[in-house]
Amino acid sequence: MKFKFIFLGILVILNLAIFSQNNNNITMGDNFFKELKYLEAIKSYQQAISSQKELVSFYLTQQLAKSYIGLNDYENALIWYKKLMSFEKENTAENIKIYGQLLMNYEDYDVAENIFKLYEKQSKNIKDSEKWIASCQWAKKNKDNNPIARIGKTNIEIGTRCMGFSFYEEGLIVAIPQEKRFVEETTYYDLALIKTNNNEIFDLPILLKGDINKPYYEAAPQLINNGKEIYFTSNSTEIAKYKENKIEKYELSPNGFNVLKIFHAEKINAEWKNIEGLSFNNNEYSCAFPFITDDGLTLYFSSDMPNGYGGFDLYKVIKQTDGLWSKPLNLGNTINTSENEIYPYVNNTTFYYSSKGGNGFGGYDVFQAEINGEEIINVKNIGIPINSSKDDFAYIIDKDTKSGYFSSNREGSRGYDYIYYFENSIPFDTLNGIVLNKLTGKSVNNASVVINTNISTLTNENGAWKLPIQGNDSALKITFDSPWYETKTETYVNVKEAQEQLNKVFLTPIMLDGKITNISEYENESIKVRLYDKNDNNEFEFIDITEADQNGGWEFHIRKDKEYKVEFFVGDRLSDSEFISRQDEAVEIRVETIEKLRSYELNLENIGSDIDGYLVQIGAYRYPENFKYAKVNSLGIVTKDPQGINDGIVRFSIGFTKNLEAAKILRLKILKLGITDAFIVAIKNNKRAYIVNLQEEILSVKTETTTQLFKKQ
């Protein structure tokens, strides 16, 4: 018994030691995580997991997932966020959303859409979930677009994470890692000059001289005044506000978080001196990624200061006459989203930046917009190959050559960033307009708009369309087409000329019109013109009817891809019929027939003589046993029509009468019983002679007819 208690005591001590060590690893991991040292945090959390071995807690799983996100290591982050999905009770809506975003990083857009629907269910944030679902749909639609530039990966070593760069003399000023062990542990960055002769192959870096490089981060450089002034991001200052822990000393805000700030330096005798923080920096939040205009008066930057739209937003400040900067102005929700916006860059009036929140392929995408006075308008994704499903950011472009650089982790394993060169970047622009019916002025919906044979869209219900295009200075060939309208093709010298003339485009409707030249011979009788088109069963089907006016004129709006038949009725008697071929078939015959109809004389000999009587047809079935007609028995005797066409179809009719008006009244009674396709059949010599059915009244029975569709056009 004594040994048993000793053994149990040893087990308790061992368990307490394991528990203590496990808690210590978690605490160490949390400290590293708070300091943004994600590599070290992951090691501590993994040690805590290895000591547990059995069940990994939700907290540890979540901390590991967040740490991999902090490294932009989407490969491992996807694994751990997927594991979080098994914690159904503890898991958060935010974790579910991030899992959907990670799926987008691997172009698994369909699954991502389903995850965002789950996010909506848990978060109740319909607007945000719909935004991400729309982004997946946008990505699927645009991921195979034509590339807007040629890109190539440079040989610049930036130590797994890009911290920004800027044009400088014959190369770039780049943030490079201070240590070579950047894969194993968190390292900080200094600014260096790297020269090049061919844009993609660079020399070894040369650290900037002077006081600019400090123990922590120096990054995101931007130069003005012919390279004599530099603005950059850093958290290395001389402020003696530190907190000790067992790791090392680091600067804190009052809330205990490390912050980034924007600094300015001057180049004096080849060295960078007079390092000063800008007046709007704050220990409560970060200010980073500055871009300064050439005149040195307007500075754009990114910040997570309070009262923004979420994450890091883009702001601007104006330099005052006293040398201080104005109060930061948020650039608004045209570009800022609930996600992060970083790395602003301005080229003339074009504003570039990277965002995780707009319609994109996944991760950060580069966007462009236009500066219009105090507004920033016309935001659009810059497209492939600059953008990918991974992170694409830090875009800079030369004003003259329209070539430049950007950073991406598209090829890097575990979030490894590279710097890419691009050339012949074709500016992205948008054309838009409205398509209208030339005769009525009404909008034309579902018309196709094709630019240079490879970019296309359809007009919406208001006739409006919008298309992204590539190349402001390129000639454009734009084709507008619809089955109901004549094709229209226009050519333009460039985008500007096209946009000036495309505000409204008028298409000529395809009209089948005619004139009965001898209508005066029938002044006491109405002349009806009935229109049929050939259906998928190769049969002509009635679709519309009109009455010739007092001058004999009549018209229908038709499609060019259909074959038609017109029939002329004098009163209730069939006179003539004509066939009109499709526009792409028997063209000469079609033109000849249309011209004939425009000066058409009814043939008196063709007009039907007196008929035997009328029936109302109530059904036509290939399998007559399927027809149930008990509800019409009270109106008369239902018979199988023996005079039908030899097509294998059995037709059911009711109510033979000599009087057409009586047949019409009967038909109306049948319509009220719900048999909406009932129509009148004329009988001559005990055979079906012609159809008188429907005329205008059928249009009031059917909920949607072809005629109504015509009128919408």
pLDDT of residue 473: 52
pLDDT of residue 303: 96
| DSSP string for 204-239 | --EEPPBS---SS-EEEEEEETTTTEEEEEE-----
Contacts 24+ apart (CB under 8 A), 304-312: 308/336, 309/333, 309/336, 309/337, 309/338, 310/336, 310/337, 310/338, 310/339, 310/357, 311/337, 311/338, 311/339, 311/340, 311/341, 311/356, 311/357, 312/286, 312/288, 312/340, 312/341, 312/342
Average of pLDDT values for 345-350?
A: 93
Q: Which of 126, 124, 113, 118 is nearest to 96 (CA)?
A: 118
User: For residues 617 and 3, which has the higher predicted lDDT (pLDDT)?
Assistant: 617
pLDDT of 476 higher than 50: yes
pLDDT of residue 163: 87
> Tokens 């009817």 map to which residue?
545
Q: What percent of the chain has pLDDT over 90?
A: 40
pLDDT of 380 higher than 50: yes
pLDDT of 4 higher than 50: no
Contact 354, 341 (CB under 8 A): yes
Helix, strand or coil for residue 439? coil
pLDDT of residue 138: 94
pLDDT of 96 higher than 90: yes
Q: What is the tens place of the pLDDT at every residue in 202-223?
A: 999 999 999 998 887 889 999 9
pLDDT of residue 693: 38
Q: What is the tens place of the pLDDT at every residue in 517-573?
A: 888 877 777 888 888 888 888 888 888 999 888 888 889 998 888 888 888 887 766
pLDDT of 510 higher than 50: yes
Q: How many other CB atoms sit within 10 Å of the CB of residue 704? A: 7
pLDDT of 26 higher than 60: yes
Contact 597, 513 (CB under 8 A): yes
pLDDT of 193 higher than 90: yes
pLDDT of 302 higher than 90: yes
In the sheet where 229-234 sits, what is the strand order?
A: 218-224, 229-234, 261-268, 271-277
Q: How confident is the model at residue 242 (pLDDT cuts 50, 70, 90)?
A: very low
| β pairing state of 218-224 and 206-207 | unpaired
CA 240/CA 250 separation, integer angstroms: 10
Q: How confident is the model at residue 694 (pLDDT cuts 50, 70, 90)?
A: very low
CA 634/CA 381 separation, integer angstroms: 68
CA 393/CA 209 separation, integer angstroms: 27
Is the pTM here over 0.85, yes or no? Answer: no
Buried residues in 479-511 as b, exposed as e (16+ CB within 10 A): ebbbebbeebeeebeebeebbeebeebebebbe
pLDDT of 246 higher than 90: no
CA 599/CA 578 separation, integer angstroms: 13
Phi and psi at residue 585, to the nearest 5°: -135, 140
pLDDT of 312 higher than 60: yes
pLDDT of 621 higher than 90: no
Most confident of 347-356, 551-560, 643-652, 680-689: 347-356
pLDDT of 655 higher than 50: yes
Question: What's the gap between Cα 685 and its chain centre?
Answer: 64
Average of pLDDT values for 94-106?
A: 93
Structure tokens at 184: 């194993």
Q: Which amino acid is at 524?
A: N
In this structure, of 160-169, 250-259, 337-346, 419-428, the range with the lowest mean pLDDT score is: 250-259
pLDDT of 9 higher than 50: no
Give the chain's mean pLDDT. 82
Helix axes 93-105, 126-142, angle to 10 degrees: 10
Q: How confident is the model at residue 582 (pLDDT cuts 50, 70, 90)?
A: confident
Phi-psi region of 107 (alpha: psi -120 to 50; beta: other; left: phi over 0): left
| DSSP string for 603-637 | -GGGS----SEEEEEEEEESSGGG---GGGGGGS-
Phi-psi region of 700 (alpha: psi -120 to 50; beta: other; left: phi over 0): alpha
